């Protein structure tokens, strides 16, 4: 989120209803294309409290930390909501303090606090058991956001009530200050952040129950009711703290402006069932639909350790760019001995589709040198970061004065002073010139957000700007885009161009169309270019490296040059004269970054200066801000081959042109700066008009016209060489590969590869025998027949190895081992093409990799978190039943998708005034109490349960609720009312009569049964059973409409249930046939009519004979012979019989008998019907019969006992 716990209202917003009607999704905020001004507005409310005044901001025990902070800012139109831990606010220009704790709203057009919005918050002060607020912070409202209609706000934090109304940590408050009644979630502990999408309110924090259910750290709420949205089932779990003083929690949330992504940060090791440490990206709208899921996007960098005090989470700020293409992360962490750890830095991370998979690396890292960054906010013009930092661009600080083993708390070479807030270039993270300062720094700026015209900064100090300027803003500073500064973006350089070649003190210009270089024309312009070491032109300014170890900027004025600025001296690098820099003597000349004095052959592309150094043969690069002129303090390898022969460089289109010490000019294919060294192509041979070996620099200025760019080399790999192999002369695959080429696969290894270099260097790979790394990439096709299967990788490597399938890492063994074998399996793969990537590094000794790919069934995926409650039922006593004993046994069942853990039973005395519950000691009292029932199958997905209760005579309500092993609670408990009455029981049986149908009556197919039932106390029900004719296995009409052997009945409708006399009625549709009906009445005491009424009748007319046939004889060589077929009837098939005759046998042994022997009687053998009573049914029968030839005839019977037959079928049993 922008700032520490912020909510960016203008990202995809939530749809709300209730007393406030649904208004749809809020429009996105207008982006800012300029860097805001440095001076805050004066017509802004002054947030008051006990500000931090000390400026050290070092988080030491002596550092007085403020307990009054602005933590979140949200806007809607002209309204601004401000939340935090402050105690009051003053209108601009007024000395009167408004007692408004934790949250207020003001009108930005007037600066006046909204009088109608005066909610009062309570609770939270004693929730943590942490009186020093070391772990949990200070109670307050941590996050605020407007509903899209702007008529209410959502607030989240520590509170337990609003305006005296219970609201556990999350509330919706109308602009008149009233609590929106329909939105009433309950969260059991602190909510640290909140994010709104178009259909959810997502909350993150230290909680472990939401709305009574076990939902931990991350949850989604319905924006109208606050109910838990169970399709969002992605709790963050697992503490990074090895000795968990601090449990898992979510610290930060941020939704991308397009509503697709949710970034989550905090102290966790998993999100859902997926491993993610500290940082996760959730796909809210997965391709193809479905529930939100953890995106295939992760990094290992937040698994590294910072200073020992930060063993939980050190991420503190998240912000997406306006185009939802990248994420900026800021944090704390202190100093670390691990140079890869992202402590006290800001980082940029590309999002899908640009970057996805595991093991991702940041695009850039902007370092403070050891100070916390609490907040981040991205606009098109700048990345704003706030904290209590002293410097930015400080990747090379010296040793800390308090611990010489750690580097930090020092203004290193290249650092610039940026007290408490800074603006960074989005391309590179290099600081812009914007420097309003926040002094004293206090704890820091913890909330930064923007709308179209303004940037809002929440902090814990009252000053924004140098102390001498006496700019007092309270804890909220608002800065305007009016009069803001543009941050110029890089210009593309395309053919044709005018090449300017610097040699000695002179410059010549040669027009170049990609093929031909025109004759040189003097372009010295009266400037002595002695000492020129390379440069580039962007936005009509020449930036160049020159004499005195410095770099300069000179405007181009047509064919001439303007006044030159020495950037090395004018930028005021902090290492030069900052009183807090240690040691006092600058570590480089001018305090500029290491390596600038040694830079030569420099050029520029897309935010970065590419160059060669006198003391390094590689091609290097570092970030550069066109706006501020600041060069990044950190450099990185761009290409690892030998560039010592380059005398000058310049980028044109996708090509890097290089003057070389052999006197020639070459070009290298370099799309997006990734230089392919082996694509070197001669452009201008030695001996021409320019001696390229003697030039000191080369840069381009735009020219007129257009020409085609040189054709790009073909880098696709296929056929027998499908692997794209890239080799680096470092162990970390850093920079552009030294060499890339197509290499063969190994068909015997399923398209894998075998490379065994022993102790030698890889053949012709331009790397040494040790300390190199390689990446192989290829496409593997999954055929439709293998769809849903997985790829398995068996890989042996010396030393470290990683294997990825579609970006998902399935082998991760990046360490020093020799010839170790590892196995990994991908998820299930769809038919089509999939990318396989293999990475390895060699430290020393032998080197090689052996990879086999195979297709296997996918592994069983781990179960995700269980957020689905079970279901509870009570089966006895019957609803409204009266028992005749004080010992009442309640029985029921409980089901769950995973495992039933327990069933809680509570008993309510319905005769008492007010609520009265059965207590543990057997008495009744007003406090709710319950008992656990006995489970028959605890831990299973379904279990019956029972509990014995001793109850006096009276009326009771029994409430039963099941819990699963995850702690989910059935939200709709089972409830049943019973009466205990130990007075003498009713023993008299009821009496039943049947009026229709009459005996032997022929009815229609829709048969109406009617009659009466009487009893001395009350008729409970009448049971009606219908008996069919035919096979006794299918004689009773079942409740599902089929026919079966088991006696079954249906309950008739009583005209006056519970009365001593009532008529009854039941309608049943029957196929034509002959039937009997059996009727029995039950009374309320459980007595039944022991002399049931039975009557036979006919339904409908049917003279159509059924038809039958034998379809198949199977198992001719098995122990038994299986016969199958079908039978059909216009009404229903009730029975199918077979006559099986052995051909050629004597008469006495001609017919198959029911026991499988042969006899002289033509027996009718039973079959098994698949759908008895249906108009069409399959039949099957198995018999063990002697070998021989047989003829089978099928006889079918319908409900009217009409008989039909089918054609005879001959078969042979050859067993």
Distance between CA atoms of residues 960 and 957, nearest Å: 10
346, 394, 344, 345: which is closest to 574 by C-alpha? Answer: 394
- Mean pLDDT, residues 562-576 taken together: 90
Q: Which of 469-478, 508-517, 1180-1189 has the lowest average pLDDT?
A: 469-478
Residue indicated by tokens 């306006």? 322
Tell which wins on pLDDT, 1045 or 511.
511
- For residue 623, count CB atoms less than 10 angstroms from its CB and return exposed for 0-12, middle for 13-18, buried for 19 or more: buried
Q: Which of 215-219, 419-423, 882-886 has the lowest average pLDDT?
A: 882-886
Fold adopted by 991-1099: Immunoglobulin-like (2.60.40)
Q: What is the pLDDT of residue 13?
A: 32
Query: Which residues lie across from 1014 on neighbouring strands?
Result: 991, 1061
Q: What is the CATH number of domain 871-980?
A: 2.60.40.650
Which are the contacts of 409, defined by CB distance < 8 A and separation ≥ 6? 58, 335, 369, 370, 371, 397, 400, 401, 402, 582
Beta-sheet strand order (sheet of 1168-1169): 1107-1114, 1121-1128, 1176-1183, 1168-1169
Q: Provide the pLDDT confidence category of residue 860 given band limits of 50, 70 and 90.
A: confident
Q: How many CB atoms are located within 10 Å of the residue 672 CB?
A: 8
User: Which CATH architecture is the domain 46-389+441-480 placed in?
Assistant: 7 Propeller (2.130)
- On average, the pLDDT of the chain sits at 89
* Domain ranges across the chain: 46-389+441-480, 497-702, 723-856, 871-980, 991-1099, 1107-1213
Inform me whether the pLDDT recorded for 578 exceeds 60.
no
Inform me whether the pLDDT recorded for 53 exceeds 60.
no
Q: What is the pLDDT of residue 587?
A: 82
Displacement of CA 167 from its chain's centroid (Å): 28
Token pair for residue 719?
């056929």
**Class for the domain spanning 723-856:** mainly beta
- For residue 1041, count CB atoms less than 10 angstroms from its CB and return exposed for 0-12, middle for 13-18, buried for 19 or more: exposed
Most confident of 484-493, 571-580, 704-713, 1041-1050: 484-493
Whether 497-702 shares its CATH topology with 871-980 is answered no
* Degrees to nearest 5, angle at CA 1154 with 1149 and 1156: 55
pLDDT > 70: what percent of the chain? Answer: 92
Q: What is the CATH number of domain 1107-1213?
A: 2.60.40.10
Q: What is the pLDDT of residue 653?
A: 96
Which are the contacts of 1102, defined by CB distance < 8 A and separation ≥ 6? 1071, 1072, 1073, 1130, 1131, 1198, 1199, 1200, 1202
Q: Does domain 497-702 have CATH number 3.30.1050?
A: no
Strands (E), 670-709: 676-684, 697-702
* Degrees to nearest 5, angle at CA 276 with 271 and 278: 100
Using DSSP's 3-state secondary structure scheme, residue 1003 falls into strand
Distance between CA atoms of residues 1124 and 1169, nearest Å: 10
Judged by phi (left if over 0) then psi (alpha if -120 to 50, else beta), residue 626 lies in alpha
Q: What is the pLDDT of residue 576?
A: 55
Torsional sign, CA 267, 271, 272, 275: negative
Which are the contacts of 719, defined by CB distance < 8 A and separation ≥ 6? none
Tell which wins on pLDDT, 1174 or 726.
726
pLDDT digits (tens, 9 = 90+) for 1016-1048: 989 999 999 999 876 667 689 998 888 888 899
Distance between CA atoms of residues 245 and 686, nearest Å: 70
Q: Provide the pLDDT confidence category of residue 62 given band limits of 50, 70 and 90.
A: very low
Q: What is the pLDDT of residue 1135?
A: 87
Inform me whether the pLDDT recorded for 132 exceeds 60.
no
Query: Which residues lie across from 781 on neighbouring strands?
Result: 833
Q: How many CB atoms are located within 10 Å of the residue 774 CB?
A: 25
Q: Which of 498-512, 713-727, 806-820 has the lowest average pLDDT?
A: 806-820
Q: What is the DSSP string of 461-501?
A: SSB-B-GGGT-B-TTEEEEESTT-B--PPPPP--SSEEEEE
Q: What is the pLDDT of residue 1106?
A: 84
Inform me whether the pLDDT recorded for 66 exceeds 70.
no
Which are the contacts of 1140, defined by CB distance < 8 A and separation ≥ 6? 1151, 1152, 1165, 1183, 1185, 1190, 1191, 1192
Q: Provide the pLDDT confidence category of residue 334 given band limits of 50, 70 and 90.
A: confident
pLDDT digits (tens, 9 = 90+) for 411-437: 999 999 999 999 999 999 999 999 998
Inform me whether the pLDDT recorded for 148 exceeds 80.
yes
Residue indicated by tokens 């270039």? 425
* Degrees to nearest 5, angle at CA 733 with 728 and 738: 25
Q: What is the reported pTM?
A: 0.78
Q: What is the pLDDT of residue 16?
A: 31
Inform me whether the pLDDT recorded for 623 exceeds 50.
yes
Q: What is the pLDDT of residue 472?
A: 61
Q: Which of 565-569, 950-954, 1115-1119 has the lowest average pLDDT?
A: 1115-1119
- Mean pLDDT, residues 760-774 taken together: 92
Inform me whether the pLDDT recorded for 50 exceeds 70.
no
Tell which wins on pLDDT, 410 or 575.
410
Q: Provide the pLDDT confidence category of residue 818 given band limits of 50, 70 and 90.
A: confident
Q: What is the pLDDT of residue 1119?
A: 61
Q: Which of 25-39, 252-266, 444-458, 701-715 has the lowest average pLDDT?
A: 25-39
């Amino acid at each position: 989120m922008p700032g520490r716990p912020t909510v960016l209202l203008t990202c995809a917003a939530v749809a709300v209803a209730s007393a406030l009607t649904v208004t749809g999704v809020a429009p996105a905020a207008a982006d800012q294309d300029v860097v805001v001004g440095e001076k805050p507005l004066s017509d802004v409310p002054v947030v008051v409290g006990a500000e931090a005044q000390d400026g050290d901001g070092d988080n030491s025990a002596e550092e007085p930390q403020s307990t009054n902070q602005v933590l979140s800012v949200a806007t809607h139109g002209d309204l601004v909501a401000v939340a935090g831990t402050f105690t009051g606010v003053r209108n601009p220009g007024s000395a009167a303090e408004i007692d408004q704790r934790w949250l207020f709203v003001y009108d930005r057009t007037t600066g006046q606090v909204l009088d109608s919005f005066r909610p009062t918050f309570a609770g939270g002060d004693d929730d943590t058991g942490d009186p020093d607020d070391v772990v949990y912070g200070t109670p307050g409202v941590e996050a605020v956001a407007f509903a899209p209609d702007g008529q209410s706000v959502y607030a989240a934090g520590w509170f337990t009530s609003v305006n005296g109304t219970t609201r556990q940590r999350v509330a919706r408050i109308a602009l008149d200050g009233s609590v929106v009644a329909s939105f009433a979630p309950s969260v059991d502990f602190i909510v640290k952040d909140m994010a709104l999408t178009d259909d959810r309110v997502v909350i993150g924090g230290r909680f472990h129950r939401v709305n009574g259910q076990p939902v931990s750290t991350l949850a989604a709420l319905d924006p109208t009711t606050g109910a838990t949205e169970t399709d969002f089932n992605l709790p963050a779990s697992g503490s990074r703290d090895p000795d968990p003083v601090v449990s898992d929690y979510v610290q930060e949330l941020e939704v991308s402006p397009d509503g697709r992504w949710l970034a989550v940060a905090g102290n966790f090791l998993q999100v859902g069932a997926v491993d993610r440490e500290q940082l996760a990206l959730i796909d809210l709208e997965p391709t193809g639909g479905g529930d939100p899921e953890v995106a295939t996007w992760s990094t290992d960098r937040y698994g590294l350790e910072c200073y020992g005090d930060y063993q939980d989470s050190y991420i503190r700020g998240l912000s997406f760019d306006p185009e939802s293409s990248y994420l900026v992360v800021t944090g704390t962490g202190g100093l670390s001995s691990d140079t890869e750890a992202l402590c006290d830095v800001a980082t940029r991370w590309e999002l899908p589709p640009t970057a996805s998979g595991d093991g991702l690396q940041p695009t850039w890292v902007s370092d403070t040198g050891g100070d916390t960054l609490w907040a981040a906010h991205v606009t098109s013009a700048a990345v704003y970061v706030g904290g209590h930092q002293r410097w930015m661009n400080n990747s090379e600080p010296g040793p800390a004065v308090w611990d010489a083993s750690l580097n930090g708390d020092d203004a290193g070479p290249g650092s610039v002073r940026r007290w408490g807030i800074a603006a960074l270039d989005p391309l590179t993270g290099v600081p812009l010139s914007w420097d309003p300062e926040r002094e004293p720094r206090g704890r820091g700026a913890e909330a930064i957000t923007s709308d179209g015209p303004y940037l809002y900064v929440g902090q814990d100090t009252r000053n924004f700007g140098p102390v001498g300027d006496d700019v007092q803003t309270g804890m909220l500073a608002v800065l305007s885009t009016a009069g803001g500064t543009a941050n110029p973006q890089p210009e593309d350089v395309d053919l044709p161009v005018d090449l300017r070649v610097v040699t000695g003190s002179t410059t010549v210009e040669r027009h170049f169309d990609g093929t031909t270089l025109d004759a040189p024309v003097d372009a010295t312009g009266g400037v002595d270019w002695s000492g020129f070491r390379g440069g580039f032109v962007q936005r009509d300014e020449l930036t160049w490296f020159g004499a005195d170890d410095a770099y300069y900027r000179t405007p181009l004025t047509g064919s001439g040059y303007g006044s030159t600025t020495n950037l090395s001296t004018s930028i005021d690098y902090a290492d030069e004269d900052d009183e807090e820099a240690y040691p006092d003597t600058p570590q480089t000349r001018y305090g500029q970054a290491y390596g600038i004095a040694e830079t030569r052959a420099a050029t520029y592309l897309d935010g970065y200066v590419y160059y060669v150094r006198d003391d390094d043969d590689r091609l290097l690069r570092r970030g550069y801000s066109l706006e501020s002129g600041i060069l990044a303090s950190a450099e990185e390898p761009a290409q690892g081959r030998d560039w010592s022969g380059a005398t000058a460089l310049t980028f044109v289109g996708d090509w890097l042109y290089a003057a070389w010490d052999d006197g020639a000019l070459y070009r290298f294919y370099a799309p997006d700066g990734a230089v392919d060294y082996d694509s070197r192509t001669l452009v201008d041979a030695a001996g021409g008009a320019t001696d390229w070996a003697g030039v000191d620099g080369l840069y381009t200025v735009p020219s007129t016209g257009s020409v085609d760019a040189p054709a790009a080399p073909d880098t696709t790999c296929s056929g027998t060489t499908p692997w794209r192999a890239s080799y680096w002369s470092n162990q970390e695959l850093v920079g552009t590969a030294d060499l890339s080429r197509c290499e063969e696969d190994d068909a015997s290894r399923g398209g894998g590869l075998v490379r065994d270099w022993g102790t030698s260097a890889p053949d012709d790979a331009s790397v040494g025998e040790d300390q190199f790394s390689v990446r192989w990439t290829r496409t593997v096709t999954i055929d439709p027949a293998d769809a849903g299967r997985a790829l398995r990788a068996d890989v042996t490597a010396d030393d470290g190895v990683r294997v990825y399938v579609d970006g998902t890492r399935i082998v991760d063994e990046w360490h020093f081992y020799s010839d170790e074998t590892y196995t990994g399996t991908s998820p299930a793969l769809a038919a089509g093409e999939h990318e396989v990537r293999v990475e390895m590094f060699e430290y020393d000794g032998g080197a090689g990799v052996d990879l086999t790919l195979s297709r296997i069934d996918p592994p069983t995926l781990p179960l995700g978190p269980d957020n689905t409650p079970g279901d509870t039922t009570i089966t006895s006593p019957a609803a409204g039943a009266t028992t005749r004993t004080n010992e009442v046994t309640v029985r029921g069942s409980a089901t769950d998708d995973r495992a039933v853990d327990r069933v809680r039973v509570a008993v309510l005395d319905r005769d008492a005034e007010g609520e009265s519950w059965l207590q543990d000691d057997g008495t009744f009292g007003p406090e709710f109490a319950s008992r656990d029932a006995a489970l028959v199958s605890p831990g299973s997905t379904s279990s019956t349960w029972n509990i014995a209760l001793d109850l006096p005579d009276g009326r009771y309500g029994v409430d039963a609720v099941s819990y699963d092993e995850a702690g989910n609670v059935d939200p709709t408990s089972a409830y049943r009312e019973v009466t205990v009455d130990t007075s003498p029981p009713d023993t008299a049986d009821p009496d039943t009569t049947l009026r229709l149908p009459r005996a032997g009556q022929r009815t229609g197919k829709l048969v109406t049964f009617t009659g009466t039932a009487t009893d001395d106390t009350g008729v409970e029900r009448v049971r009606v059973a219908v008996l069919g004719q035919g096979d006794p296995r299918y004689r009773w009409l079942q409740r599902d409409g089929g026919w079966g052997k088991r006696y079954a009945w249906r309950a008739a409708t009583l005209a006056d249930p519970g009365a001593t006399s009532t008529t009854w009625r039941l309608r049943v549709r029957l196929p034509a046939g002959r039937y009997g009906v059996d009727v029995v009445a039950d009374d309320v005491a459980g007595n039944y009519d022991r002399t049931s009424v039975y009557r036979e009748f006919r339904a409908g007319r049917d003279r159509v004979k059924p038809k039958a046939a034998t379809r198949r004889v199977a198992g001719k060589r098995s122990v038994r012979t299986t016969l199958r077929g079908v039978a059909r009837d216009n009404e229903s098939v009730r029975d199918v019989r077979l006559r099986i005759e052995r051909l050629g046998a004597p008469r006495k042994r001609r017919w198959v008998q029911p026991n499988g022997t042969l006899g002289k009687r033509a027996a009718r053998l039973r079959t098994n019907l698949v759908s008895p009573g249906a108009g069409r049914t399959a039949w099957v029968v198995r018999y063990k019969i002697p070998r021989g030839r047989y003829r089978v005839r099928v006889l079918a019977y319908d409900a009217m006992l009409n008989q039909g037959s089918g054609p005879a079928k001959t078969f042979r049993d050859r067993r």
